[in-house]
């Protein structure tokens, strides 16, 4: 039995009231598989453009970023 067949078998053993948890797990896995999504891809592209143009801020540590945000 391959993994897909085993998963189908196990799904048939799960009570309907618990199936929502499985559906949410599967949705998260599918969403992760589509990473980066359109919004994330646009943000990455914008960041690459900023690096190429020398614009924006760069931080060497999280502490430096937080310090700048708090000022």
Tens digit of each residue's pLDDT, the chain (71 residues): 899 999 999 999 999 999 999 999 988 888 766 677 788 889 989 989 998 998 988 888 999 999 999 98
* Per-domain boundaries in the chain: 3-33, 38-70
Residues 59/68, Cβ–Cβ less than 8 Å = yes
Please identify which residue in the block is written with the tokens 């760069």: 58
- Tokens representing 70 are 């708090």
Q: Which residues contact 11 (CB under 8 A, 6 or more apart)?
A: 19, 22
Query: How far apart are the C-alpha atoms of 30 and 26, rounded to whole Å?
Result: 6
3-state SS, residue 38: helix
């Amino acid at each position: 039995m391959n993994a897909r067949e085993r998963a189908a078998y196990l799904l048939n053993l799960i009570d309907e009231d618990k199936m929502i948890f499985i559906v949410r797990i599967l949705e998260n896995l599918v969403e992760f598989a589509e990473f980066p999504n359109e919004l994330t891809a646009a943000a990455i592209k914008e960041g690459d453009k900023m690096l190429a143009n020398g614009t924006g801020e760069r931080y060497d540590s999280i502490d430096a970023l937080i310090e700048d945000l708090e000022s």
